[in-house]
Each structure stands twice: as structure tokens, then as C-alpha cells.
A and B are shown apart, each in its own frame.
Chain A
Amino acid sequence: MSAPISLPRWADLILVPLLSVATAFLVGGLVVAAIGVSPWEATKTLITGSLGSGEALGFTLYYTTDFIFTGLAVALAFQAGLFNIGGEGQATLGGLGAALVCLYGGGLPGWLLIPLAILAAALFGALWGLVPGYLQARRGSHIVITTIMFNWLASTLMGYLLVNTLRAPKSMEPETARFPDQAAIPSAKSILGVFGIDTAATPLNLSFVLALGCALALWIFVWRTRKGYEIRTTGANPTAAIYGGIAPAAIVMLTMALSGALASGVAVNEIMGVQNRLLLEFTAGYGFVGIAVALMGRAHPLGVVLASLLFGILYQGGAELAFDQPKISRDMIVAIQGFVVLFAGALDGLYRPHLARVFTALPRTRSGPI
């Protein structure tokens, strides 16, 4: 008789996160004011610095691309009830896969080389996700522990390979030689140039479109296919999944592999879209930010894309802010991001009951207890 009151879907996906972000900015604004900077000026710098020009927007969307990939990776794992903290390691291994194809497939034309390298990245990332998935499914090792360990393994493996095996001859840097030119994913500038639109040079490249495509594909996969149904069932009620003839162990492994493949999109964006060589630490913590993105996006692809955009704005606008306002350091930006995570992720329940009350008071249509 006292069934939990559920919010309409749009409120759940849009209104609750918006309120959380507003609160985060409010608290962040208080901190900014406390160190003697006008929150209004700071917000203006943040917004113009991230959206105010073509160049700013390019950088913002470039960051957004990375966040979409890692956010989707975490979101998919959430759907199966798994907490994949291994985005960093999976993306790192994805970079290795892409680099191997780009370095040793130099003779291939770009239209073949690029898809092959992307597939290799996805495959390596998938394997790096599959192993913790296997350990959880068959050996009972908790995925949170193993994925963290696999981040370190990936990092040390990459260090070893880049110092001892893959380093460019006569180079002092732990990085590979430059990939052949045709392995570079076309940048936004070059593509828009074809249409006669002149833009500033930014790291934004076609990977952004790939990320959006992955979001759409993930939505279709999770909500429109039998496998997606099995993944969601396993996440929502593992006992019911077993009853329904679904083998949770297989679903855990499949989900972790796909999650790892999604995370490796960071490598596509960074290694093939921007750097054109494999180097250390190119994942730069995007794998972890993906957790916040997925939490904020409520593990839904559309939510992830929107949350990624917000984090892109925070990253790019935050860099501008740190540059513009000497009193605000890079760490301040991290603190504001922390507030967003706190209010959107950890304190998700802050507004929900109150909103639920408001919606219950409204004349009801068809949702709600019977």
C-alpha cells in the first residue's frame, strides 16, 4: 500500500541532474567567493572559455568525446549491476591495440587502416575488461578490486613496452614513432574545411561522431535486443535472471568485455585522433571521470552524453578559468567537479523524495501506485 512513488522519466533523467548541478555550482560559487573571486565573473569565464568561440567549443567537445566513451563503459556495466572502475586500464590497452595496427600496418590505405586500428583498440580493451569479468563470474573475485588492479597492471605494462620494446629508435621519450599519416582520424578542422568552413585548430576529430554513434548503438543494444534485456535483468534482479534461464556468469563476462571495448574509445580519440603515436598516461584520468559521468547520466546513454558535455565544459572552461584568474588554481576546478560528483552521484537522493512529493500532489495521469 505504500509503494515507492516513482518520478516521471523525464524528471528522473533531466530535472534531478539539473538540480544537482545547480546545487554544485551554488556551493562551488560559495567557495570561489570565499577566496575573493566574484562567482559571477568566474562563471562567465567558465562559460565563455568553454562555449564562447569555435576554438573553445572544439576543445570542450574533444574532452566530451573521452567522457562519453568512459561514461558509456561505466553505464553499461551499471546496467548489469557491475561497477567497472577499470576504464583507465581498458583504455590504455586499447591504445596498445590501436598502436600495433597503426605501426605494423603502415602499408594499408587509411580507409582500411583506421577501422582496423579501431577494432584492434576495442578488442584489446574488451580483453582487459573480460579478464576481471571472468574472475568475478567464475572465481568470485570482486570486480571493483580486480579492475583497480588491472589499471595498475595496464600502466606498468605500458611503461615496460614503451621503454623496452615499442620505443622509437634513437628516441629518449617513452613513446612510439609517429604513425603513418593515413592512420590519423580526420580532425574537425579538416572536415569542416571541405565544406568551406574555416575553424581554429582544435583536437576535436571524428571520434566525437563515433562516440555519439556508440551512445545510440548502446541504447539500441540495451533496450531493444534480447541480450540487452538479459543484461538489464541480471543487473536488476540476479535471482530472477537465473529463474528466467539467463546465466549471470556469461552476462557478466559479456558486459565487461563490451564495457572495456567502449572505454578503449578514449584511445581512438587520443592516440589516433590527436597524438598519432602511443605514449604514457594518455588516459589522464578519463576512466575515473567516466564513473561520475555515468552516475550523473543515470546510466542512460542520453544522460551520459549530456553529463559528458557538462564535464567537457568544466574541463575546458576550468582550464580557462585557472589561466584567467590566478587565485583559482587547477585544483579549484577539481574541487568544483568534486561537488558535481557529490551532488549528482553520492547525494542523488537529496531532491528525489521532495520532487516525488511535488509530483504526487499534481493531478496524476497514469504513473503511481494503484
Chain B
Amino acid sequence: MTTAVPAPAAIELIGIDKSFGAVHANKAVTLRVAAGSIHGIVGENGAGKSTLMSILYGFYEADRGEIQVGGAPVRIASSRDAIRHGIGMVHQHFMLVDTLSVLDNVMLGAEGGALVARGAAAIRLKLAEFGRAYGLTVDPDALVGTLGVGLQQRVEILKALVRGATILILDEPTAVLTPAEADQLFAMLDRLRRENKTVILITHKLREIMAVTDRVSVMRRGEMVLTTDTAATSPAQLADAMVGRRVLLTVAKGASTPGPVRLEARNITVLGHNGVPLVSDVSFTVRGGEIAGLAGVAGNGQSELLEALAGIRPLASGEILIDGCPVPSAAHNPKAIRALGLAHVPEDRHRMGLVMPFEAAESAVLGIHGDPAFGAGPWLSRRRIVADLARKMAGYDIRPADPRLKTANFSGGNQQKIVLAREMERDPGIVLAGQPTRGVDIGAIEFIHKRLVALRDAGKAVLVVSVELDEIMALSDVILVMCGGRLTGRRTPPPDAASDDTFVGELGLLMAGVTEQAA
């Protein structure tokens, strides 16, 4: 098929407007997605991408505006309506039942009658057909819980296709994938495009946008600020449009001057509830003046290792040394380890790092609430903790600069800055930073990265755990890779590591558990 004339629109959103209370999430958004194309939507957290897609998928209804599918205006009041109009959604967090088979999961809600046998047979046929047509092969009788993340995502896509979706919305699909799995996904999307399916790809990874999309739209503060052919733009221009000013995509940092070893893990093993090792025999060192990046696909023991180092999880065996001194088991608790000069930015600020119903000033003393600076004897002086956070808010540009505001009312980036300010202003010797920029907008990412580099330059040992490989490569002086609870490699990144395909490929292999012996 030749496409000299502009392709017809699969979906057209015209003047979509949506407010939540005082928050204007979508401001007269207009978007035209051509049929048989891959259209990327990028934007900072809170830019309104998810709201827009939720409107398209029937989770919310727009206050104003019109949705057209295939040129005809439609009303989408529920996900059922969306499916009827051929719109399918693959959520960031999969909506699958682990204990059911692939077939059962795909069939769920589309059984086609009280008795499932006939529906099951029909779906089995369709699965085989899609397998041939798009290369979406997956064993229909495998239990979903036994499949890898990439295959589970494939099941999600199949679910949408079986329901007759011609338009697929993918929300941050690569967040949980290894680089190799992401490549497979993109190949799959490419085949779908050739079969004239339409794909809307929501992501914050500009590299993916550049690699896979035909057109790209940028959202900023509820508005659609830019829509362009991908070939006609550059990552720098997109980043610019996202934040409304020029940002550095790389971290500006000088060469590191590593000093003595400040943090050492010796043969650390951490067990889960059922005695399964989550971290197995991990040893490494981090020197002062050095940022070590711990890479790996989420769920491969990085979180547990971080919590063990912070004293939250007990060690089944092994020991931790801080500035050369072994931490006695009696001191293996968060309070004592903090007192030894270790700061911990937890991976999950909602669950662990902050107390959402508290005023920000109260959240900002968690873990340091025993500091005599905050009051004499048993007292915790509100005046002092408020003044303390007010000072930090100025230094970290936390907005709104109101220490008395409830923690939950700050945006993700500002909440993260509250945690960072609390942990870093104590002048720690060692900083553990878990997913320091997760759910944080680009402006804040840049700020956080600069702070981490500044800590390094001040001679601290910094350990960054992140599932964002770009972040690890941009920040780290040395990269550690974990897979299946084991350390699978330690690499010194070459200059400009992110664009070094051999190096990225090597890390991908290590993240997938292919160690040097096997490779």
C-alpha cells in the first residue's frame, strides 16, 4: 500500500479538557494519530499523558472535547466502550492472574457464554493465528506466573488483540524490560504497524521514541506543546519541549578521584520469608569519591541488598564494613547504621521514605528526629523542624515552599527532594540512593544527579540502585550488575557509555544473567 496521501486518522482527539478539582490536567488537547503508525507521547510526570490516555480508554470522561475513531465521533464512557471501538490498553502494571494459564487470562471477560469450552477453542485458534501473523507466540497452556516479564507483556498485548483492538495504547511498556526484551517488543510493534494496527506509545525514554515511532507528541502541564514527525526532530528538541527550557541529557561530572574504601559488603546473603535466598553471596566495595551504580532488571535482589545495607533487612550471612570497620550484628539496624554515617534514600518514598499524612516538616525529620538540634531532651520542637525544612526547601528548590503542607500534597519530584534534603544534609559518609529519580520530572532528575555528583566530589561513597540503565550509565564511575540475587558483573563504563552499543549490549547480557564464564 502506498501512502502518498496523508494516512486517515485512526483516532482524533479534539479540544479535550479535563480538571480534577483545581488541577487542570488536560487543557484543550488536540491529537491526531494516523492509522497504521506508531505515535509516541512524551512528557514529564504530571504533564497529563496518563489522564489523556485514561480518557481515551474510558476511565475518565472529558469535561469538554470530542473523540473521533475512524473519522466518526464516539462517546467513550467505560473501557467496555473503548474495546467496542477497537481501542486496547496495555497497562504499566499488568492486569494478569498469575495462577491462570495464558489462555484463561486472554479469555477472561470474553468467555462467550456460560460454558467456556467453545470460547476457549475459539481463543486458542485466534492465539495461533496472531502467533503466525505478528510473531506473538506464547504457549497458551503455560501459567502466567511462570512466564518472564516480556512474555507477560505479550499476553497483555494478545488480550487486547483478541478483543479486536486495532489501536493499542502502551503505557511505559519498557519500564520492566531488559534492553533485549525491549528490542523484541519494538520488533513486535513494527509488525503490528505493518498489519495496519495503530500504536500509541507513552514513555519518558527519548531514546525509544527516536528508535521506534513515526510521529511524536510532547505534553507539558496539560497542554500538547509539540507534534512532529520523529525523523524531523531530535532528543534535545523533545527534552526542550518537555520542560520548556534546555536540559542536559548527560550528567556533567569530572573525573572521579577515588579515595579509600568506605563501604564494603562481604559475602552478603539475604533470605526471604520462605527461606529463598533473595541476595546470594554478594561482595563489593565502594570507595569514597566514587559513584557505584547497581544495575539490574527490577526484582533481581537489588532492593533487598539495599535494605540489608541500610540495616532494615537482617543478614543471613556475611558482613558489612563501614570505613573499614565491620558493623557488629547488634548495630545492624537502621538507627545504629545511620549513626555510623550512612544515609539511605529508599526506593519507595511512599511506602518507606515519607509519612504521607504528616506535615512535610514532620516527614522531613524521619530517622533524624532524635537529633538534639530539633529540641531539648524529649521535646520535638515544631518551630525548629519547620524552620529546618524551610531552609532545606530553599536549598533544594522544593515547591511549594510550605513546610506545613501535608506530605501527600507535594508532587512526586518535590517529595523526592524532601527525602534527599533530609538524607544528604546530614553530611553522611555513605549514601545509598534507591531509584533516586523514579517518578520524578526531568528538571528534578537533573538536580538530583548534580547533588549525587557533588556528594561524590566531596569524598562520599555513593551507591545508586536504579532500573534506568541510562541513569546508571550517566552517573556511575563503576557499574555493578545483579541478576537472580547474584552479582553478575562489575564494569568500568567507557566514556559516553550510553551511546556505546557494545557496552550497553554487554550490560544487557549481564542483567539477563549471562556471566563472563558463560559468555
Residues in chain A within 8 A of chain B (CB atoms): 1-6, 224-230, 232-233, 236-237, 239-240, 242-247, 360, 364, 366-370
Hey, which chain B residues are within 8 Å of A247, CB to CB?
333
Chain A residues, CB < 8 A from B25: 1
Q: Is there an interface contact between A370 and B409, defined as CB atoms closer than 8 Å? A: yes
From B362, B367, B369, A243 is in contact (CB under 8 Å) with B367
Residue pair A3, B380 in contact (C-beta under 8 Å): no
Closest Cβ–Cβ distance, residue B417 to chain A (whole Å): 13
Is the Cβ of A368 less than 8 Å from the Cβ of B351? no
CA distance in complex: A233, B367 (Å)? 11
A-contacting residues, B377-429, CB 8 Å: 378-380, 382, 399-400, 402, 405-406, 408-411, 414
B355 touches A236 (CB 8 A): yes
Instruction: Provide the B147-188 mask, 1 if CB < 8 A to any CB of A, else 0.
Output: 000000000000000000000000000000000000000000
Interface residue? B370 (CB, 8 A)? yes
- What are some 7 contacts across the A-B interface (CB < 8 A)? A1-B20, A230-B369, A233-B366, A240-B353, A244-B367, A244-B369, A360-B22
Chain B contact patch, size range: 35 or more
Point out the residues of chain A lying under 8 angstroms from B13, CB to CB: none
Q: How far is the CA of A114 from the CA of B405 in the complex (A)?
A: 45
CB-based contact B355/A3 at 8 Å? no
**Residues of chain B with a CB closer than 8 A to A229's CB:** 362, 365, 369, 380
**Given A224-B382, A367-B405, 9 other A-B contacts at CB below 8 A?**
A1-B48, A6-B409, A225-B378, A236-B355, A240-B354, A243-B312, A243-B366, A366-B402, A368-B21
CA distance A5 to B365 in the complex (A): 24
User: Cβ of A6: which chain B residues have Cβ within 8 Å of it?
Assistant: 406, 409
- A220's closest neighbor in chain B, by CB? B379
A223 to chain B, nearest CB (A): 8
In whole angstroms, how far apart are the Cα atoms of A242 and B352 in the complex?
8
Whether B344 and A243, one on each chain, are in contact in the complex, defined by CB atoms closer than 8 angstroms, is: yes
* Cβ–Cβ < 8 Å partners of A239 in chain B: 351-352
Among candidates A232, A245, A364, A367, residue contacting B367 with C-beta atoms closer than 8 Å: A245
Contact B346 A243 (CB under 8 A): yes
Q: Which 6 A-B pairs have the closest CB atoms?
A: A245-B335, A244-B367, A244-B366, A245-B334, A243-B352, A360-B21
Q: A229-B362, A245-B334 are in contact. Are A2 and B382 (CB under 8 A)?
A: no
Whether A226 contacts B51 in the complex (CB less than 8 A), given A6-B406, A239-B352, comes out as no
In the bound complex, residues from chain A placing their C-beta under 8 Å from that of B405 are 366-367, 370
Please measure, in the bound complex, the distance between the C-alpha atom of A3 and the C-alpha atom of B407, giving whole angstroms: 11
Residues in chain B near residue A5, CB distance under 8 A:
21
In the bound complex, what is the Cα–Cα distance between A246 and B48 (angstroms)? 38
Partner of A226, one of B378, B410, B411: B378
Contact check, A226 vs B369: say whether CB atoms are below 8 A apart: yes
A226–B312 touching, CB < 8 Å: no
Report B341-353 CB contacts with A as 1/0, cut-off 8 Å: 0001010000111
Structural contact, B23 and A226, CB atoms closer than 8 A: no
Q: Which of B48, B356, B409 has the most CB of A within 10 A?
A: B409
Give the complex CA separation of A116 and B346 in angstroms: 48
Contact with A along B1-41 (1 / 0, CB 8 A): 00000000000000000001111010000000000000000
- The answer for the CA separation of A4 and B354 in the assembled complex, in Å, is 17
Q: Quick one: closest A residue to B20, CB to CB?
A: A2
Quick one: closest A residue to B402, CB to CB? A366
| Chain B 319-347 interface 0/1 with A at a Cβ cutoff of 8 Å (1 = within) | 00000000000000111101000001010
Known contacts A1-B20, A244-B334, A245-B338: A367-B406 contact under CB 8 Å: yes
Closest CB in chain A relative to B357 CB, distance in Å: 5
Q: Is B258 an interface residue (CB 8 A)?
A: no
In whole angstroms, what is the CA distance A247 to B424 when docked?
23
Most buried by A among B353, B355, B358, B369: B355
Q: List A contacts of B414 (CB < 8 A).
A: 370
Tell me whether B380 and A225 are in contact (CB under 8 A).
yes
Cβ of A7 to closest chain B Cβ, rounded Å:
11
- Measured between beta carbons, the chain A residues less than 8 angstroms from B86 are none
Q: Which residues of B contact A240 (CB under 8 A)?
A: 351-355, 366
B375 at the interface (CB under 8 A from A): yes
Q: Look across to chain B and name the residue whose beta carbon is closest to the beta carbon of A230.
A: B369
- Which B residue's beta carbon lies closest to that of A234? B355
The answer to whether B355 and A237 have CB atoms under 8 Å apart is: yes
- Is B119 interfacial (CB-CB < 8 Å)? no
A228 and B380 CA atoms in complex are apart in Å by 9
Shortest B481–chain A CB gap in Å is: 26
What separation, in Å, do the CA atoms of A229 and B362 have in the docked complex? 8
Interface centre among B310, B334, B336, B382 (most CB of A within 10 A): B334
Contact between A1 and B46 (Cβ–Cβ < 8 Å)?
yes
Distance in Å: Cβ of A78 to nearest Cβ of chain B: 13
- The answer to whether B399 touches A370 (Cβ under 8 A) is yes
Q: What is the CB-to-nearest-CB distance from A238 to chain B, in angstroms, rounded to a whole number? A: 10
Residues of A within 8 A of B310 (CB): 243
- B21 and A369: CB pair below 8 A? yes
